[in-house]
Structure 1
Amino acid sequence: MRTPRRRTTLIAATTVALLATGTLTAVAAHAATGCAVSYTLGGQWQGGFTGNVTVTNLGDPLSSWSLRWSYSAGQTVSDAWNATVTQSGSTVTATNVGYNGSVPTSGSVSFGFNGTWNNSTNPAPTSFTLNGVTCTGSTAPTGAPTTPPSATPPPTTPPPTTPPATTPPPSVPQTGLVGWATQNGGTTGGGSAAATTVTTASALTSALNATGAAVIRVSGTINCSGMLRVRSNKTVLGNAGATIVGCGFTVNGDRNVIIRNLTFRNWSDDAVNVESSATNIWIDHNTFSNGYDGTVDIKRGSDFVTVSWNRVYSHDKTMLLGHSDDNGGQDIGHLRVTYHHNWYDGSKQRNPRVRFGNPVHVYNNYYYNNAGYGVASTMSAGVLVEGNYFENVKDTYHLGEADSGPGSLVARNNHFVNSPAGQTGGSVAGIPYPYTLDSASSVKSIVTAGAGAGRISV
């Protein structure tokens, strides 16, 4: 039986930074003290926001900490991660959890939370105290007073009051790269290399396996078998109606690969396999159906992958992230993947099934008639399930799967039609990249209008 854990939630978007500096009293009496506090907005939307806080200890080592601030516009804090956060009136107190109480000199500790705001502005706090001492940003000499003289607070940069960028209407779907594949130097594929058009299996195999940057355009229907290896610095782009029948692509230890606008059918292994520490992969606007095993499987230490705007139908095992419970030595610290605006159209299970990766971001996907389950977080993974639309899904998301132990799963702002909210628990690491979150209730119309091959201009 799966055991629920404490629910937390997390969101990240365009970051707006505020630095507040001050004086920190260390645990020992008459110790040199000092700290810096960075308060940032990870995201802001109508009525809600995410706060991220980093405290840098400029004084003597700490064995525990308690940070306090006050809001001036009626904001309230709800769920938190990496700290215990409480609120009394306008005053918020955040204290360490068991694993992050010790902060060495020049060390930092970070935590985050979700909050609500109902006024016309959401101003950032202007003052912080740490362990009861007001922060002013310098290191006080031994024996100096712990409370600085009254002074005008340093100028702050308030978060913008302009709403986040709106999503284009469904007829103009987002097509740019978002998510983990933007990190680690980004993903450009073949870049500006001259395009080569292939129409046969042999030509496709040669082009994919060649060294050097290349843009490979696939035209017509190509019948093939087995797995075709895709080397580094490749963009594989389907012309209108381009279809791969009978085989799949494997990215094995290579990097910087883009696969877009292709229809895959009846593959004999996986449609797309990413493994052996492959990095910076973007799999976008493809259609998958009637294959043998996974549509997009990512495993063996691979990292920095975005899977976006794909449609999967008439298929069972969809997207596996992490192939084995025994592979933690290679996978922990990797397998960071973003799944967004995919249409899981009756695909039975693994939408996705996640091992070890943290954070894995599953947002703005449309789940429809999934007979098995939507998302499973296992083997200490951390999965953020955010802003998705679930319709006729009996098991939307849960912790653990088969013999795999539970991971963590944070769910927020999802939309349910004839579907229950799933099982959550634990905490998830922060999302480092900006993104625009569509309203969950609009995701069905947005995704069905934009997901799959043939929905972008090539």
Structure 2
Amino acid sequence: MRLGGGTTPPTSNPPTTPQTGLVGWATQNGGTSGGGSAATTTVTSASALTSALNSTSAAVIRVSGTINCSGMLRVRSNKTILGNSGATIAGCGFTINGDRNVIIRNLTFRNWGDDAINVEQSATNIWIDHNSFTAGYDGAVDIKRGSDFITVSWNRVYGHDKSMLLGHSDDNASQDVGKLRVSYHHNWFDGSNQRHPRVRFGNPVHVYNNYYSNVRGYGVASTMNAGVLVEGNYFENTPDPYHLGEGSSGPGSLVARNNHFVNSGSGQTGGSVAGIPYSYTLDTPSNVKSIVTGGAGAGRISV
């Protein structure tokens, strides 16, 4: 089923605690369990973290304290990476390159030199949840090169420019069409500038119940025949909440429904979007600001 105006799923009143379970595209294709019940390793140094992430064995990795590092650290399949209270990755990022079944939760990333989290080369079943991102060089969460079945939820991006890119090149249709299916929900884009997300080719991409606060550039851009459903979000002080095309990239399709606007533009829509295959509960749009600011980012969950 393709979406035009469509009907919305049931909405909810503000929960007493934020939703914390896995929802969205990462529940598909067999689901995403990370390291599951594998042995837990606690790391406190860059060398120990690098070794644990690059192991080919399933693992639950706990990050403790601030780890100063550089470059991109490769994350192999079947990993759960959890930040203990205050855990910070400073100066480097994670790359998931062709691997699958990875969970990254409750970490603060700052001052990375490339991307904070890079997902590429047909990586599948990734859940990026309850992290904070600030003051890095390039993307906070970039997903590209045929990656698929990914959920990006309850993260906070602040003091940063390029937030979340989906699809890296107008020339990569052969690898990307039919892939790049991602759910972005309950993220807090807090004074960040652009790419929340910027989408190429993926369809359907689901952007729901996010809070956009003082976004200076634009919120969502649908380009290169992408199909993006933008629903139940809260846009505040965001003059350009969503539009078609971006830079030299031609327009995609974008369906918007049941969004809430405060001192913001009305956005640009057009075309149709493929149906969403998974179940989800849509929070009442006018309540999204309080729900998301109360729950998004690192340090808001017990893991």
TM over 0.5: yes
TM-score tier (shorter): over 0.9
Of 241, 244, 269, the match for 2:86: 241
For structure 1, which runs of at least 5 residues remain unmatched after alignment?
1-6, 13-42, 46-163
> Is residue 311 from structure 1 mapped to residue 156 from structure 2 by the alignment?
yes
Shift of 1:11: 5.3
Q: Report 1:328-407 matches (<5 A).
A: 328-407=173-252
Q: Report 1:428-447 matches (<5 A).
A: 428-447=273-292
List per-residue Cα deviations over 1:141-192 (Å, max 9, x = no partner). xxxxxxxxxxxxxxxxxxxxxxx6x4562x5110000000000000000001
Shift of 1:420: 1.7
Q: Distance in 2 between matches of 1:359 and 1:333?
A: 9
Q: Distance in 1 between matches of 2:13 and 2:67?
A: 35
SS in 1 for 2:20: coil
The 8 Å contact of residues 83 and 106 in structure 2, kept in 1 or not, is answered as yes
Report what 2:98 is aligned to. 253
Shift of 1:361: 0.1
| Structure ranking higher on relative contact order (CA contacts 8 Å, 6+ apart) | 2
Q: Distance in 2 between matches of 1:390 and 1:433?
A: 25
Report what 1:181 is aligned to. 26
Seen in structure 2, the aligned counterparts of structure 1 residues 328 and 9 have a Cα distance that, compared at 3 Å, is same
The higher radius of gyration belongs to: 1
SS in 2 for 1:211: coil
Of 273, 296, 320, the match for 2:141: 296
Shift of 1:8: 2.6
Q: Distance in 1 between matches of 2:248 and 2:214?
A: 25
User: What letter is aligned with 1:205?
Assistant: T
Q: Distance in 2 between matches of 1:183 and 1:201?
A: 33
Of 268, 272, 276, the match for 2:121: 276
SS in 2 for 1:237: strand
Seen in structure 2, the aligned counterparts of structure 1 residues 282 and 10 have a Cα distance that, compared at 3 Å, is farther
Report what 1:135 is aligned to. none
Q: Distance in 2 between matches of 1:285 and 1:317?
A: 18
Structure 1 runs (4+) deviating above 6 angstroms are: none
The 8 Å contact of residues 211 and 234 in structure 2, kept in 1 or not, is answered as yes
Q: TM-score, normalised by structure 1?
A: 0.65
Report what 2:165 is aligned to. 320
Report what 1:211 is aligned to. 56
SS in 2 for 1:305: strand
List per-residue Cα deviations over 1:3-44 (Å, max 9, x = no partner). xxxx932456xxxxxxxxxxxxxxxxxxxxxxxxxxxxxx3x
SS in 2 for 1:217: strand
Q: Report 1:69-80 matches (<5 A).
A: none
Q: Distance in 2 between matches of 1:320 and 1:299?
A: 8
Q: Distance in 1 between matches of 2:168 and 2:93?
A: 18
The 8 Å contact of residues 190 and 215 in structure 2, kept in 1 or not, is answered as yes
Question: Structure 1 vs Structure 2: percent identity of aligned residues?
Answer: 81
User: What letter is aligned with 2:222?
Assistant: S
Q: TM-score, normalised by structure 2?
A: 0.98
Number of aligned residues: 301
SS in 1 for 2:125: strand
For structure 2, which runs of at least 5 residues remain unmatched after alignment?
none
